[in-house]
Every structure is written in C-alpha cells, then in structure tokens.
Homo-oligomer: A and B are copies of this chain.
Amino acid sequence: MKPVSSKSSADLRRTLLNASLDLIATEGLESFSMREVARRAGVSHQAPYHHFQDREAILAELVAEGFTRLRDDMADALRRSDDASARLTAIGKAYVGFALDHPAHFKLMFRSELVRAERHDEAHACAQAAFEVLVSVVEGLPAGKRRAGGASSLVLTAWSFAHGLSTLLLEGKFDRHCGKTKRARVAAANEVLKTFEDLVRRA
C-alpha cells in the first residue's frame, strides 16, 4: 500500500505525530492506537515502528511537544502582567486554559502509566522547562523564597492547586457547580484562581 498523501517518505514521522495529535484531540486519549494512527497516515500497521520504538515512544514525543507549548503559553501570559500576585493568576489561567483547550493532550502529559517521563529525556527536559516558569513567578512573590534543598514549598502548593483545578474541571467534577460548557468552566476557573490569588496576596 502506498501512502495516500504524497509526502516524501522522510516526512512519515511527522505525519504520524500529527495523526496522533489529531486522533487524541478528536476521539479522545483512550481511543489512541498505533494501528489507527497508521491507518490515518495511510501506511501499514507496522510502519510506525520504524520511526518509534513502541507505543510509549510516540506518546513521549507528544508529551514533549505538549510541555513546550504549555511553557510558551505560560511565558506569553506573563508578558502581559507585572504585579507579582497577578502574575501567579496569569500563569494559572494559562495552565488551566491549556488543559481545557487540549484535554487529551494534557491528560497524556500527566499519566505516568502511559508515559514514564523520566525515561524519555526530551519529555523530561521539556517538563522541567515548563516548571521553571512557575518557579520564576513564585520567586517574585514575597513569601516565595527558594528553600536550600530545591523548590520552595509555595511552588509546589501553587502547582498542586492549578493542577488539581485543571484535572477536576477536565474530569467533570465541577459540573454540578458550574455546568458543562467550556465557557462556564473558564468562568469557574477564573473565580477559583482569583480566590487563590487573594489567599497568597493576604498572607
């Protein structure tokens, strides 16, 4: 079977990644399969294995791309605010916004049974780079000095908060309180983010 698209064969790798992204975005993370990806790329079910060692390897590449994009989104958001507490809310909005815009991609980035990030250098590095954006913001806070041994406790607190908010929204756990539409979810997220900002500002 010939590739249905007329791309040069060296592009197959990229084509497979795009097909994967498209597949999880439209059909959901759980219906990702190597065979479906191959089908969408117009190649045999084994062709992807010439470009990726296994299922986890292709997913790891998506994870790396996801963290890069998340980092860019957060960095962009920071360019538009300078008050220290407001900056915290700004990256929070970017974080939650990413999760709501790309739910499957976001879940993939945080499911260690799908991708063990520590075994994939690129994914690991991209995740770390995104984390550093948060660190820089918290360090700008009065209470956010870095501890001797690593990230300050406030960094982990803020991350936990933003991550939990994203996860619960994505899994529909706030539906009772805010409804199911994306618009309503964004509004609820903004209110909760503001509540957290107020806690930090007053402390």
Chain A residues at the B interface, C-beta cutoff of 8 Å? 28-30, 110-113, 117-118, 150-151, 153-154, 156-157, 159-168, 170-177, 188, 191-192, 194-196, 198-200, 202-203
Apart from A28-B113, A118-B172, A156-B174, list 6 A-B contacts with CB within 8 A: A110-B171, A153-B195, A156-B177, A157-B192, A157-B195, A164-B167
CB distance from A139 to the nearest CB of B (A): 15
Q: Is B195's CB under 8 angstroms from A154's CB?
A: yes
Q: Is B192's CB under 8 angstroms from A153's CB?
A: yes
Q: Is A171's CB under 8 angstroms from B29's CB?
A: no
19 A-B interface contacts by CB (under 8 A): A112-B170, A117-B172, A150-B176, A150-B177, A154-B195, A156-B168, A160-B162, A160-B192, A161-B161, A161-B196, A162-B164, A163-B167, A163-B168, A164-B167, A167-B167, A199-B199, A199-B203, A202-B203, A203-B203
